[in-house]
A and B are shown apart, each in its own frame.
Chain A
């Protein structure tokens, strides 16, 4: 028996004649952070949607805690503990922290037919959970719109964990953030993993992925270029493996030539 929490074996997805994904394999243990790296158009979005249950893979198998499963809908994936935090975070900026935290899953109180939204309990839990990540929401009824991008990202992740995520799929959690904010979010991701979650971190930023990842899968044009343990690969190697790597080198050479010619 494998001790993998979740395995995606030889996943392929076709849209008509287009091969969006071909034989992508990913295995995650508890507490592990796998970084999925790829340039734009590498198939990251398709892969995320397949993990989240939006797309059904045309080939390959998904094994969660040793059991082979098929996701028919995003709800299926969620029920198996695979929670996806999309780039838009599914947060409503005009609504309060609490109302966002429990959106769609409000805690209730009171007798049947007269159940009301237990806002006090919700406020308490939301403030507590945010406090655990070091975000002090002085007032959980403040609008999410007043929070910084990093705090919003943490709120979305914290919400997914609170509602029973075992595997977190994070879609570009740091792409819209500044250096400081990104580091806060990355730190939180590491903390979440250390509590026994498996994390799939999707990003095109090697500098964000390398410090936190245990293993790295590079995706290029729908195919996996392989999965590497951190000890087996350097940051520079990862960079050049992504499609952008080579091109950046070329760009550097070109720019140098331009400089030289303009100096002349």
Chain B
């Protein structure tokens, strides 16, 4: 009897479909994980627009400056977000940045390798480190927090020890001269859309140096990488089979396994993803600075995770978005640069970062409860 009334209920629901659809679309938007980060980013821009609108923060040079910082963080935050959605952490991202930098610099400077070969070598090492992290987590079933924490120390220590052993110091300078004419390095070291800025400069629309060239010379490579990665990863998550597997692996490992999702392979590939992203970050920075530093990337793993969490990722996995992490990185990058244009002491940045993350976690937790609660 009761089942009969159920089917009648659903019939009447059908008649109201038109009205219900509208409601559910709004709800759909509210349920998107990146909504909080998008709102946060808008608030940050409004805030600095009011407080620092006339200080040069929003000049071409200023914008590129905070975009560059955001983009660098964004590259690793996106990869960290993908891994978090897949249900794991990677605390070795920061150490991987230092390690990758050394993997480029030492072969190029001390062993006489061409730069492109050193870069390929660094990426190969990243794949190895990521694979090792992944296989260790998948095979042992240990929490990735512990496994990658160990890797954080191992990689940083090895970076320091190897560098000092070979070079006798902790920094490797002298890379800048090698960038020219290298067939690979330009991908990580070229400012793009220079003509736009030259044109804008010739029209006197943006600030010029004393020699007449524009102060902002072009879009830095980090920004291009950042935007490309954000688009590709969002497409992967929303539109591909692999994307569905990432959500499934993070949401319920056993359930996903039972219906044939290769959870182990998915997780390993995501660990490789974070290590490779760290290496992209490192390559851009090393080529930009012209030197590698063993301490580069310290604490970056935590900033990346913070940006991912602000972007809507749950610490328990199975929920989040890559574009959200991109917005999270944009918030942190904008505030860390924008604070220079205000009267606020820059020491307060970390306070902001922590508070932002705390708000995000509380907000995400609320969203998760809403998404998973029964009717």
A residues at B contact (CB < 8 Å): 74-75, 86, 88-95, 99, 102-106, 108, 115-117, 119, 131, 134-136, 138-139, 141-143, 145-149, 179-180, 183-184, 187
Contact = CB atoms under 8 A, between A and B. Distances in A.
A140 B321 CA distance: 19
A138 B27 CA distance: 12
A28 to B, nearest CB: 22
B134 to A, nearest CB: 20
Contact of B255 (A74, A88, A149): A88
Given A92-B247, A148-B374, A134 B241 contact: no
Given A94-B251, A138-B24, A184-B3, A117 B243 contact: yes
29 contacts: A88-B254, A89-B255, A92-B247, A92-B251, A92-B252, A92-B255, A92-B318, A93-B251, A94-B251, A99-B247, A104-B245, A104-B248, A104-B259, A106-B241, A115-B241, A117-B239, A117-B244, A131-B10, A134-B10, A135-B10, A138-B17, A139-B24, A139-B28, A142-B24, A143-B31, A146-B371, A146-B374, A179-B2, A184-B3
Contacts of A86: 258
A179 B2 CA distance: 10
Interface in B103-120: none
B374 A145 contact: yes
Contacts of B209: none
B241 A95 contact: no
B241 A138 contact: no
Contacts of A142: 24
A149 B14 CA distance: 22
B375 A183 contact: no
What is the predominant secondary structure among interface residues of chain B facing chain A? helix
Nearest to B14: A136
Contacts of B24: 138-139, 142
A102 B13 contact: no
Contacts of B139: none
A90 B259 contact: yes
A141 B371 CA distance: 12
Contact of A104 (B17, B28, B256, B318): B256
A49 to B, nearest CB: 12
Contacts of A131: 10
Nearest to A93: B372
Interface of B: 2-3, 6-7, 10, 13-14, 17, 20-21, 24, 28, 31, 238-241, 243-245, 247-248, 251-252, 254-256, 258-261, 314, 318-319, 368, 371-375
B318 A147 contact: no
A66 to B, nearest CB: 27
Contact of A149 (B7, B20, B243, B374): B374
Q: Which of A86, A106, A149 has the most CB of B within 10 A?
A: A106
B200 to A, nearest CB: 37
A131 B24 CA distance: 18
A116 B251 contact: no
B2 to A, nearest CB: 5
A15 B10 CA distance: 49
B244 A90 contact: no
Contact of B318 (A94, A106, A134, A148): A94
Contact of A134 (B6, B245, B319): B6
Given A91-B255, A92-B256, A105-B259, 5 more contacts: A93-B251, A117-B240, A138-B20, A139-B24, A145-B373
Contacts of B244: 99, 102-103, 106, 117
Nearest to A92: B251
Nearest to A131: B10
A92 B263 CA distance: 13
Contacts of A93: 251-252, 371-372
Contacts of A104: 245, 248, 256, 259-261
Ranked 7 nearest A-B pairs via Cβ: A145-B372, A92-B251, A90-B255, A104-B260, A136-B10, A90-B258, A104-B259
